[in-house]
C-alpha cells in the first residue's frame, strides 16, 4: 500500500531545528533568572544591572519568537503527515497554526489538535493494540498554559530569589517536554510510514 496524497514529509529536519530553538529558549530563560534577580537587587546602585536585564529581555523575546515560529512549522508538518498516514476526520494542516490566535478557543483547541496528531501517528506494535498514552501531550499543554499566564505577570511577582526561580521553572520545563515530544512524534510517524508504505521516508529541509 502506498501513500498517494498528501505526500509524507519526514519530521527529522524540523524536529532537530525545534529541539535547537527550544534548547536556546530554555537556556535563555534559565540564564535570565539570575540576571533579573540581580537587576532587581542592584539596579538602584548598579546601572549596568538594569541595562543587562533589558538586553537579556530583548534576546529572550527574540529566542521565544523564533522558537514559536519553528514550533508552528513543525506542528503544521506533523498534521500534514497525520493526513498522509491515513488519519481520518483530521482538521486541515492550517489548524495547527490558526487556533493559537483565536480568542478563548486558543485555551484548548491547540491541545485538541496535538492530541489528534499523536493519535493518528501512533504505529501499533500489533493488531488490536490499545490507544497510546498521551500524558506527554497533556504535560506539554499544562506547561504551555502556565507559562503563557505567567508571562503576563513577570514584573508583578515579588522580587525574590524563590519567586523568580518558580517563574523560570515553567519555560525550562516546557522546553524539555517539547524536545521529548518532538522526538517521540518523529519516531512514531516514521515508524507508521514504514508500516503503511514499506518505503524509506523522505527527508526534506525545514519549510519555514
Q: pLDDT per residue over 27-42, tens digit each?
A: 888 876 666 665 555 5
Q: Note whether residue 42 is domain-resident.
A: no
The number of folded domains in the chain is 1
Cβ partners under 8 Å of residue 183, min gap 6 = 15, 19
Q: Note whether residue 206 is domain-resident.
A: no
Q: Note whether residue 181 is domain-resident.
A: yes
pLDDT of 129 reads 52
**Is 60 exceeded by the pLDDT of residue 54?**
yes
**Is 60 exceeded by the pLDDT of residue 130?**
no
Task: Compute the mean pLDDT over every residue in the chain, rounded to the nearest whole number.
Answer: 80
Average pLDDT rounded to a whole number, residues 114-137: 78
d(CA 184, CA 182) in angstroms, rounded, equals: 5
Q: Note whether residue 120 is domain-resident.
A: yes
State percent of the chain over pLDDT 70: 70
Measure Cα distances from 72 to 65, 100, 101, 207 in Å.
11, 9, 12, 11
Report yes or no on whether pTM surpasses 0.75: yes
Q: Note whether residue 148 is domain-resident.
A: yes
Average pLDDT rounded to a whole number, residues 103-124: 93
pLDDT of 149 reads 78
Complete DSSP assignment for 64-125: HHHHHHHHHHHHHHHHHHHHHTT-SSPPPTTHHHHGGGSTTGGGTHHHHHHHHHHHHH---S
State the residue range of the domain holding 81: 12-24+63-197
Q: How many CB atoms lie within 10 A of CB 160?
A: 12
pLDDT of 4 reads 44
Q: Note whether residue 132 is domain-resident.
A: yes
pLDDT of 169 reads 82
d(CA 72, CA 100) in angstroms, rounded, equals: 9
| Percentages of the chain per state (helix, strand, coil), in multiples of 5 | 70, 0, 30
**Is 70 exceeded by the pLDDT of residue 163?**
no
Label residue 148 by pLDDT band (50, 70, 90).
confident
**Is 60 exceeded by the pLDDT of residue 161?**
no
Q: Note whether residue 205 is domain-resident.
A: no
Average pLDDT rounded to a whole number, residues 89-117: 94
Q: Note whether residue 85 is domain-resident.
A: yes
pLDDT of 123 reads 85
Amino acid at each position: 500500500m502506498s501513500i498517494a496524497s498528501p505526500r509524507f514529509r519526514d519530521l527529522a529536519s524540523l524536529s532537530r531545528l525545534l529541539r535547537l530553538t527550544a534548547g536556546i529558549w530554555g537556556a535563555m530563560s534559565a540564564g535570565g533568572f539570575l540576571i533579573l534577580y540581580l537587576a532587581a537587587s542592584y539596579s538602584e546602585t548598579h546601572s549596568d544591572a538594569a541595562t543587562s536585564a533589558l538586553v537579556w529581555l530583548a534576546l529572550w523575546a527574540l529566542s521565544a519568537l523564533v522558537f514559536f515560529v519553528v514550533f508552528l512549522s513543525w506542528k503544521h508538518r506533523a498534521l500534514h503527515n497525520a493526513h498522509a498516514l491515513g488519519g481520518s476526520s483530521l482538521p486541515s494542516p492550517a489548524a495547527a497554526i490558526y487556533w493559537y490566535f483565536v480568542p478563548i478557543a486558543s485555551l484548548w483547541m491547540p491541545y485538541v489538535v496535538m492530541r489528534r496528531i499523536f493519535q493518528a501517528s501512533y504505529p501499533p506494535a500489533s493488531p488490536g493494540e490499545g490507544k497510546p498514552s498521551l500524558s506527554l501531550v497533556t504535560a506539554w499543554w499544562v506547561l504551555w498554559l502556565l507559562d503563557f499566564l505567567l508571562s503576563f505577570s513577570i514584573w508583578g511577582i515579588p522580587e525574590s530569589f524563590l519567586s523568580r526561580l518558580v517563574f523560570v521553572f515553567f519555560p525550562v520545563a516546557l522546553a524539555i517536554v517539547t524536545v521529548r515530544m518532538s522526538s517521540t512524534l518523529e519516531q512514531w510517524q516514521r515508524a507508521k510510514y514504514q508500516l503503511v508504505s514499506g518505503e524509506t521516508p523522505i527527508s526534506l529541509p525545514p519549510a519555514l
